[in-house]
Structure 1
């Protein structure tokens, strides 16, 4: 068989695998580690977007032709970092020349998001590039998570223009860098290095407790009374603590020189009217309140109030390994103010335990990375759990509330934009029931479990109680009559209970599945979907690893 024919067969096989991945959550690219025929063009032809790959390397001399897939991955990530820096610089320059305050707000979000993209790509590069005589410092699953986040950041940048009803001026600014395509190539190549079931380990180690939590800190989440918590700082509105605002305590945490140890902030009972941010590099912060009914952080930002969806959040969490216990995050903008986020999290390996997240449209933005919610209450109306994290909600109470007249409730709007992103929303062993304000009008409001925000949207509902108000169809298209994503999404249900659990009248989309075996459903459990057995043990947070 001649080499040209072999190349064509190989390329056809790659594209077939990519097509299959659209319909199955566990498929990954299978690539030949020793494929060297055709120079760099031959390698680029194995990616979903060959042209940006070829263009970059043709214009950058001095690279060594890879001999195996792991070397090609490093080259791709390096190229993508270079393009991401260019994109951020172009956005920064545009911001300096922009006088429109609405566009300035969009650009500010995008500059931050592209900055984080550079962080995630650099983190990946450092993790998969072993130093001489040492092993690489992260797993391929870690790398896939961080690459997924990098792509999510670029996707999050775009909708800001529509939030303010201004023309899309962002895409032309960054289009010449082809950054999204290059990240997709990185995801596909790294996906080819992922062994089946690789989600079971992370940098935290396969067994025992992750290095970022000490034995003393493990007991913090086990304490029944927040008053017994040995806090680094105490926040109290009445002046009885170290500071009177939550953000002041977070800022002090961010100024510490060493961020490897847990920094505990005890927030005494009270209503704190402020918007808080735990920024990048402010890692290992823990907020502990006096209970979700007693300690409340509340704000009222919204899109109609002049903020982007991203920046409307009452609480924005970015630092690694964030933990919250016994708090409420609330957005009071109301149902008539459009998108209004109560909590936005892009904190990797983060935990929210016994928290209440309250709003209407777009309440909880599970933006990116790996997240775990246990024993939480989540209130909202339209798309009120949305984003593109790999997230599991376990033993949570999900409470659709009364929307505006004529609106339907949609619980999830998952934002997976690439088939190789290891992201999705998993709702496990929880309850979906009406909030008190919905009950009087429950017969006039339709409620769905989700709709596809992005083409490869992925949401699963496992062993969850579905109250009678959930529509027999279960799921909704993005808009009435739309077919967007219906063949490429992955929505699934497994052994749910309650009056609305029957799948007899569910949608008949190609992307909807009723899971019948434990092995299929277990792919979306804490243990496998977010590698929870590597970082949740001994935190004091109860969790179920499997089904």
Structure 2
């Protein structure tokens, strides 16, 4: 099934949400939603009962989904939305793929938590997607997630959550000083949390004192494998979030980091530098438990 979304009226629907809402309830095979170039200012939800969905944009520069809710925005009930209802794109479907588009929370700096993509899917794939925001840009709620050749930006805890997620050849960009890239909440007993493979960490001009991560929950796991790091990364690399007990249970790891931000000899004593043998286990197929993220 193919649905085309176009702001100029040349498609089947004018908005992305309209396209999703028009999928017949009994439909259970892949639905491709082609999004023509334009800035689509809407808040979008992919419901839990949706069939496998592929959102296919023209390219990230011309196909943009944007909204500006934040944790303090008042909802229909008159109460603040909170972090988990602030998302621009909200995915609850079991299987979901997005390619060639930008997902933006335009709330702006200093407005608090403001999620661009809230991903609470069973299996999710993002390819060549730009995720733009400030605090809490990407929420990885559950399941297994794969990000390939994506650009993700923010300033505080801008990749956070409990999912097992692979970031493969992505650019991770910090916008302001004294920030935190990740805030994992990996469940106890889970083999892998966040794994960054062959990524690049960049930052805005003059940005410094950026931490690779801090543990949102006690068993947080984050690993950077062969990642190029600019000089924004603080030498100790990792922060305990003011809770020293989490140093015993969190797993923070690196292997062959390069660039001016790579300082293995100065890293926090409770983090680890992996051996080559250990790092060899950090393969996409293995991390994702035998699932190959080909998309749908």
Residue of structure 2 in register with 1:138 after alignment: none
The offset of 1:476, in angstroms, is: 1.3
Q: Give SS of 1:378's match.
A: strand
Secondary structure of the 2:20 match is: helix
What corresponds to 1:331 in structure 2? Answer: 105
1:291 equivalent in structure 2: 59
Local SS of the residue matching 1:531:
coil
- 1:302-381 residue pairs with structure 2 within 5 A? 302-305=70-73, 306-381=80-155
SS at match of 2:98: strand
Q: Alpha-carbon deviation of 1:524? A: 3.2
Q: How far, CA to CA, are the matches of 2:27 and 2:8 in structure 1? A: 30
Q: Equivalences for 1:202-281 in 2 at 5 Å?
A: 232-253=2-23, 255-259=24-28, 261-281=29-49
In 2, the alpha carbon distance for the partners of 1:397 and 1:236 equals: 29
Query: What is residue 285 of structure 2 aligned with on the other side?
Result: 527
Structure 1 residue 335: Cα displacement: 1.7
* Count of matched residue positions in the alignment of Structure 1 and Structure 2: 290
For 1:474 and 1:291, how far apart are their aligned partners in 2? 34
Partners of 1:354 and 1:449 lie apart in 2 by 22
Residues 15-73 of structure 1: per-residue CA shift (max 9 Å, x gap): xxxxxxxxxxxxxxxxxxxxxxxxxxxxxxxxxxxxxxxxxxxxxxxxxxxxxxxxxxx
Q: Which runs of 5+ in 1 are unaligned?
A: 1-230, 541-547
1:463 to 217, 221, 226: 226
CA contact under 8 A between 1:313 and 1:341: conserved in structure 2? yes
Correspondence 1:380-459 to 2 at 5 A: 380-402=154-176, 408-416=178-186, 418-434=187-203, 438-439=204-205, 441-442=206-207, 445-459=208-222
- Write out the 4+ residue segments of structure 1 that deviate beyond 4 Å after TM superposition: none
Structure 2 vs 1, CA of residues 423 and 311 (structure 1 numbering), >3 Å: closer, same or farther? Answer: farther
Deviation at 1:346, TM superposition (A): 1.6
CA positional deviation for 1:422? 4.2
Instruction: Look up the match of 1:31.
Output: none
- Partners of 2:261 and 2:140 lie apart in 1 by 26
How much has 1:395 moved relative to structure 2?
Answer: 0.5
Q: Distance in 1 between matches of 2:175 and 2:12?
A: 37
* TM-score calculated relative to the size of structure 2: 0.94
Root mean square deviation, CA, Å: 1.6
1:515 and 2:274 correspond: yes
TM-score normalised over the length of structure 1: 0.52
1:485 corresponds to which residue? Answer: 246
Q: Which has the higher strand share?
A: 2
SS of aligned partner of 2:118: strand
- What is the Cα deviation at residue 483 of structure 1? 1.1
Q: Determine the structure 1 residue equivalent to 2:293.
A: 536
**1:419 Cα offset (Å):** 2.0
Q: Report the Cα distance in structure 2 between the residues aligned to 1:427 and 1:475, rounded to whole angstroms.
A: 15
Query: Could you tell me how far apart the structure 1 residues matched to 2:68 and 2:39 are?
Result: 13
Per-residue deviation, 1:423: 4.5
Q: Is the 8 A contact 1:478 1:484 kept in 2?
A: no
Pair member with larger Rg: 1
The SS at the match of 1:433 is: strand
